[in-house]
């Protein structure tokens, strides 16, 4: 049971929830940029929430399915097709053996996720299947997928829903995700050096418009906007940073640390994007703009609890609908 990469994409890697517990050793967590999309895709095919998925960027790989399998696409919309016919995101889809999954154009979002029922056979490093390219570990040989790579799937019982003359079947229900994602402004909590900013810079941080620079990747989003300044320049020792930390660079511009961030940094930490808004931020592309809105820790905690509650409800609903739908074909 496998799928084959017929044509490689720009950056297609195996990712899961991340590699936690090793930041004190300088090993960053990594993991999927959009954890919500990863969990939604897994819910749609009946997997555990943390099962590894393929994270793909546009232009995306062409994938040949060498076995019949239940899949789901989540996150960005890259105009997916199977054998030339369009297929939707956020729906379970059974793909016939020999069918080809392709992506036509980047409609919305920055990253799309491919979950398969049962999951992928991957290599683990430090209890995670997330690809760590720097040390060439985890995922698929510790690297991005390339042409002719074969990614093996875990064995599961294949339900005979699909007749042999159809390349795919889309299940008649899908996931509603409007309660999980947010539009900008994205909310942030003031960081340790926020109070060192000038009053003008505090206002700029809270109400300015920022553009994601082309020099952005899974390590960090470099931003372009009106310059930010400190009241006084001071030497800082390297301190712990995490996903969502907003750092002030020497040129007065900002960078937001993303999934592959370093574990420590010496730049001023002027804020932290809250966890509940991070997945939405991760779906922005280079050139897109957004604003930031100041909030506090109790509000951030309540927003995350509400988001996780909505996600759990979605997972429960997906499990129920999937079980009932497949039962009708037994």
Render pLDDT for 179-193 as a digit per residue (tens, 0 to 9): 999 998 999 999 999
- The pLDDT assigned to 326 comes to 77
Evaluate if residue 156 carries a pLDDT over 90: no
The torsion angle over the Cα atoms of residues 151, 155, 157 and 163, rounded to 10 degrees, is 30
Q: What is the pLDDT of residues 258-267, one digit of tens each?
A: 999 999 999 9
Q: Which two tokens stand for residue 99?
A: 């069918």
- The pLDDT assigned to 323 comes to 86
Rounded distance, CA 73 to CA 65, Å? 15
Topology at the third CATH level for domain 186-295: Cyclophilin (2.40.100)
Rounded distance, CA 168 to CA 70, Å? 9
Kindly report the number of other CB atoms within 10 A of residue 153's CB atom: 18
Least confident of 25-39, 151-165, 271-285: 151-165
Backbone angles phi, psi at 74, to 5 degrees: -140, 170
Domain ranges of the chain: 2-177, 186-295
**How large is the angle between the packed helices 35-45 and 275-282, nearest 10 degrees?**
80
Backbone angles phi, psi at 298, to 5 degrees: -60, -40
Rounded distance, CA 246 to CA 193, Å? 10
Evaluate if residue 327 carries a pLDDT over 60: yes
User: Do 21 and 125 touch, CB atoms closer than 8 A?
Assistant: no
Which residues, at least 6 apart from 141, have a Cβ–Cβ distance to it below 8 Å? 123
Which residues, at least 6 apart from 225, have a Cβ–Cβ distance to it below 8 Å? 204, 208, 209, 210, 211, 253, 254
pLDDT band at residue 160, thresholds of 50, 70 and 90? low
Helix (H) or strand (E) holding 11: none
Evaluate if residue 219 carries a pLDDT over 60: yes
Kindly report the number of other CB atoms within 10 A of residue 135's CB atom: 10
pLDDT band at residue 329, thresholds of 50, 70 and 90? low
User: Do 188 and 295 touch, CB atoms closer than 8 A?
Assistant: yes
Q: Which two tokens stand for residue 79?
A: 């105009």
User: Do 66 and 98 touch, CB atoms closer than 8 A?
Assistant: yes
Rounded distance, CA 81 to CA 103, Å? 6
pLDDT band at residue 127, thresholds of 50, 70 and 90? very high
Mean pLDDT over the full length of the chain? 93
């Amino acid at each position: 049971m496998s799928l084959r990469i017929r044509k490689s994409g720009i950056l297609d890697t195996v990712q899961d929830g991340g590699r936690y517990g090793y930041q004190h050793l300088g090993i960053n967590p990594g993991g999927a940029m959009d954890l919500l999309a990863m969990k939604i895709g897994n819910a749609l095919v009946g997997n555990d929430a943390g099962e590894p998925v393929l994270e793909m960027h546009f232009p995306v790989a062409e994938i040949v399915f060498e076995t019949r399998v239940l899949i789901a696409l989540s996150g960005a919309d890259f105009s997916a097709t199977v054998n030339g016919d369009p297929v939707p995101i956020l729906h379970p889809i059974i793909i016939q053996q020999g069918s080809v999954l392709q992506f036509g154009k980047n409609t919305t979002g920055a990253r799309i996720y491919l979950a398969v029922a049962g999951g992928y056979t991957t290599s683990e490093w430090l209890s995670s299947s997330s690809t760590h390219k720097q040390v060439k570990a985890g995922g698929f040989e510790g690297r991005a997928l390339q042409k002719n790579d074969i990614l093996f799937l875990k064995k599961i019982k294949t339900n005979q829903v699909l007749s042999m003359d159809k390349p795919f079947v889309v299940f008649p229900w899908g996931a509603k995700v409007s309660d999980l994602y947010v539009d900008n402004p994205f909310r942030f909590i003031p960081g340790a050096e926020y109070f060192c900013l000038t009053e003008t810079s505090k206002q700029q941080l809270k109400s300015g418009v920022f553009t994601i620079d082309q020099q952005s990747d899974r390590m960090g989003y470099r931003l372009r906007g009106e310059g930010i300044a400190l009241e006084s320049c001071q030497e800082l020792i390297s301190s712990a940073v995490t996903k969502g930390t907003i750092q002030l660079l020497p040129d007065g511009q900002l960078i937001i640390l993303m999934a592959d961030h370093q574990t420590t940094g010496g730049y001023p930490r002027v804020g932290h994007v809250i966890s509940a808004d991070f997945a939405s931020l991760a779906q922005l592309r280079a050139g897109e703009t957004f604003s930031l809105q100041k909030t506090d820790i109790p509000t951030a905690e309540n927003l995350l609890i509400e988001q996780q509650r909505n996600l759990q409800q979605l997972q429960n609903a997906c499990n129920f609908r999937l079980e009932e739908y497949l039962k009708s074909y037994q």
